[in-house]
Amino acid sequence: MTSHSPGPGAAAASGRPRVLVTGFEPFGGDPGNPSEHAVRALGTQLDDLADLTAEILPVEYARAQARLRELMAETSPAVIVCVGLAGGRAEITPERIAVNLAEARIPDNAGAQPIDEPLVAGAPPARFSTLPVAAMAEAVRAAGVPAAVSYSAGTFVCNAVMFAALDAAAAIGASGSPAPIAGFVHVPRAAEDGGSPAGGAAEEHALPQHLIDAGVLAAVRAAVDHAGRSPMAGAARGAVGAED
């Protein structure tokens, strides 16, 4: 974990940028969550590039958003990459946009199941990722892992955390401090978890966990390497739609 820092986006004592990466615990009765494994697997693999804070968030609308904002205040990261599961996808997918909407197909892990509710009252209806999403997708493909840019983070807790990160980053920028770049990456189910939702049929396109881990590492490294460049630059090859 990084230590507390003097200002948003400030470099650590090492001179490397502070980077916050989050995953999620299992939900919906699943035995595991590939995003949790991938985030924990980062370990020391970014030591040459960044000072990493990694944390696993609860799959709960209220607690996940609150904890993400707390982590941002505690660590003052320059780069924020949140990671979560999108069942039914065949690729690792950096997200372009988060919507200011909570609408749950299933209850979260606290039993909450909001329908047609704003995440942040008075905030814009949507916020675009400030991560270099096209470069991240390219980096994941270069690592030998399927990837595409996505244009829908859904309306479950993944989207809520992405919106919270971008909303908090916008507030930092509005205060006159350097705003961190922030966004979200969805990953497919892991073949080791059976490649299926709890009680469901196995999904054809589940990926081995080691490929998910490699793809998340490549995406995070690209986010740090390309910080400051337009997140809209690059070809959006193989773009995908909504999460499961």
Tell me the catalytic residues.
Answer: 95, 158, 186
Closest CA to 166 of 96, 109, 86: 96
Which amino acid, 11?
A
Residue with tokens 């470069």: 135
CA angle, 163 then 28 then 193, to 5°: 105
C-alpha–C-alpha distance, residues 144 and 115, integer Å: 38
CB contact at 8 A, 22 and 56:
yes
| Rama region for 127: left / alpha / beta (φ>0; ψ in -120 to 50; rest) | beta
CB contact at 8 A, 7 and 41:
no
CB contact at 8 A, 101 and 90:
no
Neighbours of 93 (CB within 10 A): 32
